Amino acid sequence: MKKYAYYPGCTLGSTGVEYGLSTLEVCKKLGIEMWEIPDYNCCGSSSAHLVNPYLALGLSARNMAIAEEAGLDVAIPCAACYSHSKAAELAVKESPEKRAIIEDIIGRTYKGESKAKSILEVLAESLDLEELKAQVVHPLKGLKVVTYYGCLLTRPKKIACDDAEDPIMMDNILAALGAEILPWSAKTECCGASHTASEPGVGIGMTDKILLAAQKSGADCVATACPMCMGNLDMRQVQAAKMFNHNYNIPIYYFTELLGLALGIDSKKMGCDRHFVPAMELLQKYEKGGEQ
Amino acid sequence: MKKVGVFVCHCGSNIAHSVDCAKVAETLKDFPNVAFSTDYKYMCSEPGQELIKKAIKEQGLDRVVVCSCSPRMHENTFRNCVAQAGLNPYMFEMANIREQCSWVHPDDMEKATEKAIDLAKMAVSKVCYDEPLEKSYSPVTKRALVVGGGIAGIQTAIDIANNGFVVDIVERTPSIGGKMSQIDKTFPTLDCSACILTPKMVEASSHPNINLITFAEVEKVEGYVGNFDVTIRKKARSVDMSKCTGCGTCWSKCPTKVPSEFELGMSMRKAIYTPFPQAIPNKPVIDREHCLKFTKGICGVCSKVCPAGAIDYTIEDELVTERYGAIVMATGYQLFDASVYGEYGYGRYPDVISGLQFERLINASGPTMGHLLRPSDGKEPKNVVFIKCVGSRDENKGKEYCSRTCCMYTAKQATLVRDKIKDSKVYVFYMDVRTPGKGYEEFYNRTTEKYEANYIRGRVSKITQEGDKLLVHGEDTLLGRPVKVEADMVVLATAMVSNPDAAHLAQLVGFSYDKDGFYTESHPKLAPVETHTAGVFLAGACQGPKDIPDTVAQAGAAAVKVTALLSKDKLETEPSVSVVDQKNCAGCGHCVNICPYRAISLETIQERVNGKTIERKVAHVNSSLCRGCGACTVTCRSSSISLKHFTNKQILAEVDALCLQ
Amino acid sequence: MTLNELQQQGAMATETLEKLSQVEARKCYQCGKCSAGCPVAEYMDIMPRQVMRLVQLGLTDEALKSKAIWLCATCDTCSTRCPRNVDIAHEMETLRILAKRKGIVGEKDIDKFHNVFLDMVKKFGRVYEVGLIVGRNVTTGKLFRDVNYGLPYLSKRKVHLLPEKVKAKDEINRIFAKAEEYALKELKEAENK
């Protein structure tokens, strides 16, 4: 049985609760053990590195150091947490001097032996797609999905876990579940990140463009692997529609929710009833046996 | 006691600005064996050379050292000079106090002068051990090999052949013609490419002095200038060339369709095929990877229908070895694979095509009979966007260099669209417009004025597919704002890159290439078609990106160099070759393995030891193959091998001169 | 003023920036691929390309005053695609840090948001959204922004009313203190160079 240190960050227990629940449920089902990093702290999100790069590295390095003590690689669902944790891992490996600085900041040892991995990467690496197909209880046949990767899993190159222009990890997993993956134009565009909160005129405009592209593609839903993207596309969907006079009703799912659904995990158990854009109806259709 | 003359050159101010030449000459006067020492402004000039000759005669000098530039520059000048004064030309040494001293130490006269003195002393120490050497001669095989049958190779071959020498063209594909045969029109005059190329192809095939060896590759090269032994692999055509009439029955009946390489996958060819209708020779080959006879052992239709009985499935690859006096590399280029740019969607979006695909789509004999139509739905595009520098000038995803031809071919393609589709609009995204050729700037001006092409200065960041349209995202950097252009078709001006096996071929023939796989000329200005390897020349884009006019000019230049070489009855060979002291040689064979010219072999000699005759193996140098590189001398464990003019004793004398002061 | 004089004026900032960011702005050949792919470009006062141009010419002071450096979302699209391998996003980030240290803030609300966010991390080791929204609204003076999201979040049991706190408070304090120490040291070294 594979075992990872699990880093939920600040969102997976709160605004991204579905992501946390679905990740843990899916991993349990697939036999991947998750050990939550005790007393973990915030990774600094999109704020720390804008103010002080050392702060960003230090905050993430502490979590990584705790995982390293336990001898585990870290599985990270949140794309922002992943990106910052990976940056810390790479920084200590960059040079002995850099490592000494970071270790001094956190007052712990971190050699970079414990690696930061996005949950998408963990699943893409450990799943045999043929075996996965055999495990599917509710095939997603007929479900038209656009996969949305955003920035933090695909850029910059040294941190990215998938291709910068045409990533495919999520596509492969969802396609194996029977879903139809549609091409679209916003696969790796930025959702606006924290601008939706700090500068809504800008941030929500960015979110709106992605929703518009998803709508144009003819997809039933959007799959994502980032709680920040989810927050913007799901929670801000009504606001974007109002601000730009559009009419949306596009459910947004964490890819782990769709994976869990296909594997027969109860959608409520994964918190799928806690979305802003109603998400249960589409899921229940497949729980009842999908498109006939 | 030797009588050495030392001559220190100022090279104008090239040396004198940081080396005190008078001081060098003065100091050397007191060095052992120096009988005469002086300095002069230009030693290579007529009066400079006279100075040397006069000193040899008046002072009775028996050897000479000139302290000046690199031997690459003037060694021959001074060797001739001392020879004219009656010395053996090898009783001469050069100390390079320019490239190795004044140019690299421009700011410290004291130290530079000190170093120049050291270099001069070393040369004097070496010259004292110089011995008279005589040049030898080797014969010249009056036949040339041209590798590659595109426009570069064809032109080179025709020019050599017209000068009266026999020339073989080895072409990898089933037909000569190269990339030029795929192009529609040529800039800046818009001649039809096929109309100006096919006469040359015909001339090459019918010329009594030219032999075409198509569907063949160079496998091995041995020998040296004047006498290269080249092994050529003639790939199995499966068609008996002597019987085939090129009637075409076989390919019309062949049931197997394969994407056509010539049409860049935009239409199909058969498994037995000629690449294009005007192919030369117009005789087909069987593509054994796809032919049912070879893949599944069935079919055999071509054999049944061939009226000449020319199909022969049993033909195998054939290796032939020929001797040539000179080799011209004319292996051309490839186009950059644009799918590297995920943001442009080449390979994912059907209507994003490459420049060469555009040529086929606008060509009357292409898959759309010359009607520019979209690959996706066969509709005529109204808005066409061109993106330049795809793979060029991009150290992130492509090549750092400029591909030189794209500015012009894109301008040409833009005019062709406007010409053929009257209600069309064209947009060209560019960073710079580079038109350094005769009539090129004028052509570009017509593209923007008469043909009303919209030139937008900016590199495109991304193309998105929006329904059946493409949306091109760029910045108009002159306006300073992002722009989006809706397009029906996007044409990528892909970079010219070297062939994937260019480096391998260079190693096989034995000459140098650069980091991008382009072949290195001997001198970028003064020897642009020569390589560092004597007898190997370059023509066309294998040396670097270039257009047809430049390629043809270079082909002509290469042909002249070849002709000059083949016109000689014999070639001088340098006497500075390795010799083996066979008494001392243990026959370990290290030198055999290290020699890059395969000049050393082990031979068996007989010796009498204690009254008995014994046999043992020792190294032997074939002096006509030896190029005097010296690799063997440093690898020899018993110091039994020595290079004439660079003997071990001479090298040690130089070291002593430097260290024992 | 002549270009020479303007360059003279911005020389200090330019050197500091070069030292801090290690970005080779001189490599930029102004193709605009960064700005063409930038999702925020249309909201910026000057294009990212023009920010690079200012830096390249040594007019860094002008770049520091731009709104563009604050609007950059650090999505890294520009750096990933740059044909000259110039890390534009990192240059923007460094400019922003430098501007903040110099007290030049082109986009006040964005800056305030990040301040509130980090204050919370400093205090609790983690963030909680209620605190974030309230804190931001109080500092920006836009009291009612996003209140309509507070309730649904609560009703969906998606936010904590009270912060979750990291027990190792001393470790968090150390990280903040030490990070600031190193940042200041680096800045000082860059300025003295």
Domain limits of chain A? 2-120, 129-287
Confirm or reject contact between C76 and chain A (CB < 8 A).
Answer: yes
- Nearest one of B178, B142, B86, B25 to B540, comparing CA atoms: B178
Confirm or reject contact between C30 and chain B (CB < 8 A).
Answer: yes
**Chain A / chain C CB contacts < 8 angstroms:** 169
Tokens 């797609």, residue located: A129
Cβ–Cβ below 8 Å for B348 and A166? yes
Nearest Cβ partner of A164 from B342, B465, B466? B342
Tokens 């190193």, residue located: C182
Confirm or reject contact between B461 and chain C (CB < 8 A).
Answer: yes
Indicate the pTM of the whole model.
0.89
Write out chain C residues lying below 8 Å of A206, CB-based: 39-40, 73
The CA distance from C82 to the nearest CA of chain A, in Å, is: 12
Confirm or reject contact between C43 and chain A (CB < 8 A).
Answer: yes
CATH class of the domain defined by A129-287: alpha beta
Cβ–Cβ below 8 Å for B482 and C85? no
Range B570-598 average pLDDT: 91
Q: What is the pLDDT of residue C151?
A: 61
The CA distance from A28 to the nearest CA of chain C, in Å, is: 23
Measured between alpha carbons, how far is A224 from B568 in angstroms, rounded to an integer? Answer: 75
Write out chain B residues lying below 8 Å of A216, CB-based: 466-467
The CA distance from A33 to the nearest CA of chain C, in Å, is: 24
Range B283-307 average pLDDT: 96
- Please give the C-alpha separations between residue A109 and each of A12, A84, A113, A176, B617, in angstroms, as whole numbers: 27, 18, 11, 41, 64
Tokens of B568: 């000689």
Give me the CATH code for the A2-120 domain, please: 1.20.1050.140
Write out chain B residues lying below 8 Å of C50, CB-based: 480
Lowest mean pLDDT: which of A50-54, B323-327, B369-373, B399-403?
A: A50-54
Measured between alpha carbons, how far is B231 from B529 in angstroms, rounded to an integer? Answer: 24
Confirm or reject contact between B84 and chain A (CB < 8 A).
Answer: no
Lowest mean pLDDT: which of A175-189, B105-119, C156-170?
A: C156-170
Cβ–Cβ below 8 Å for C37 and B462? yes
Confirm or reject contact between C109 and chain A (CB < 8 A).
Answer: yes
Confirm or reject contact between A17 and chain C (CB < 8 A).
Answer: yes
Residue of A nearest to B471 (CA): A185
Please answer whether residues B532 and B511 qualify as being in contact, where contact means their C-beta atoms are separated by less than 8 angstroms.
Answer: yes
Range B86-103 average pLDDT: 96
Write out chain A residues lying below 8 Å of C96, CB-based: 50
Cβ–Cβ below 8 Å for B475 and C84? no
Write out chain A residues lying below 8 Å of C93, CB-based: 49-50, 53
Residue B256 confidence (pLDDT) above 50: yes
What phi-psi label fits residue B171: left (phi over 0), alpha (psi between -120 and 50 degrees) or beta? beta
Residue of A nearest to B396 (CA): A157
Tokens of A135: 């495990």
The CA distance from B596 to the nearest CA of chain A, in Å, is: 41
Cβ–Cβ below 8 Å for B342 and A163? yes
Lowest mean pLDDT: which of A71-85, B470-484, B602-616?
A: B602-616
Please answer whether residues B145 and B168 qualify as being in contact, where contact means their C-beta atoms are separated by less than 8 angstroms.
Answer: yes
CA B404, chain centre distance (Å)? 17
Confirm or reject contact between B467 and chain A (CB < 8 A).
Answer: yes
Confirm or reject contact between C43 and chain B (CB < 8 A).
Answer: no
Residue B116 confidence (pLDDT) above 90: yes
The CA distance from A33 to the nearest CA of chain B, in Å, is: 36
Tokens 């943001």, residue located: B343
Q: What is the pLDDT of residue A291?
A: 52
Tokens 């070759």, residue located: B577
Q: What is the pLDDT of residue C114?
A: 87
Residue B331 confidence (pLDDT) above 70: yes
Confirm or reject contact between B459 and chain C (CB < 8 A).
Answer: yes
Confirm or reject contact between C137 and chain A (CB < 8 A).
Answer: no
Residue B172 burial by CB count (10 A; 0-12/13-18/19+): exposed, middle or buried? middle
Write out chain C residues lying below 8 Å of B462, CB-based: 36-37
Cβ–Cβ below 8 Å for A165 and B464? no
Range B134-152 average pLDDT: 95
Confirm or reject contact between B465 and chain A (CB < 8 A).
Answer: yes
Cβ–Cβ below 8 Å for C127 and A189? no
- Nearest one of B536, B540, B625, B522 to B578, comparing CA atoms: B625
Name subunits touching C (3+ CB pairs < 8 A).
Answer: A, B
Work out the mean pLDDT of chain C and round it to a whole number: 89
Range B343-367 average pLDDT: 97
- A positions 71-130 inside 8 Å of C (CB): 101, 104-107
Nearest Cβ partner of C32 from B393, B396, B458? B458
Q: What is the DSSP code (8-state) at residue B380?
A: P
Q: What is the pLDDT of residue B293?
A: 96
Write out chain A residues lying below 8 Å of B467, CB-based: 216
SS3 B134: coil
Q: For residue C159, what pLDDT band results from cuts at 50, 70 and 90?
A: confident
Write out chain B residues lying below 8 Å of C29, CB-based: 393, 431
Write out chain C residues lying below 8 Å of A105, CB-based: 174-175, 178-179, 182
| Alpha helices (H) in B510-647, listed in sequence order | 548-566, 590-594, 631-635
Low-confidence ranges of chain A (pLDDT < 50): 292
Taking only the tens place, the pLDDT of each residue in B182-225 is 999 999 999 999 999 999 999 999 999 999 999 999 999 988 89
Name subunits touching A (3+ CB pairs < 8 A).
Answer: B, C
Question: Yes or no: is domain B143-235+317-333+498-566 CATH 3.50.50.60?
Answer: yes
Measured between alpha carbons, how far is A271 from A252 in angstroms, rounded to an integer? Answer: 13
Nearest Cβ partner of A185 from B341, B342, B466? B466
Residue C163 confidence (pLDDT) above 90: no
Nearest Cβ partner of C36 from B393, B397, B458? B458
SS3 A232: helix
pLDDT-above-90 percentage for chain B:
93
Write out chain B residues lying below 8 Å of C31, CB-based: 431, 458-459, 477
Give the angle B416-B421-B424 at the CA atoms, nearest 5°: 100
Q: What is the pLDDT of residue A292?
A: 45
Cβ within 8 Å of residue B282, ≥6 positions away: B246, B274
User: Strand order of the sheet with strand A180-181?
Assistant: A180-181, A144-148, A221-224, A252-254
Q: What is the pLDDT of residue B492?
A: 98
Give me the CATH code for the B578-643 domain, please: 3.30.70.20
Write out chain C residues lying below 8 Å of B393, CB-based: 29, 83
Residue scoring higher pLDDT (B147 or B627): B147
Write out chain B residues lying below 8 Å of A163, CB-based: 342
Confirm or reject contact between C189 and chain A (CB < 8 A).
Answer: no
Confirm or reject contact between C32 and chain B (CB < 8 A).
Answer: yes
| CATH 3.50.50.60 domain extents, chain B | 143-235+317-333+498-566, 335-497
* End-to-end alpha carbon distance in chain A: 37
Give me the CATH code for the B4-127 domain, please: 3.40.50
Confirm or reject contact between C150 and chain A (CB < 8 A).
Answer: no
Measured between alpha carbons, how far is B355 from B339 in angstroms, rounded to an integer? Answer: 13
DSSP B585-615: -----HHHHH-TT--EEEEEEEEEETTEEEE
Give me the CATH code for the B335-497 domain, please: 3.50.50.60
Range B271-284 average pLDDT: 96
Nearest Cβ partner of C183 from A52, A106, A206? A52
Residue scoring higher pLDDT (B599 or A19): A19
Work out the mean pLDDT of chain B and round it to a whole number: 96
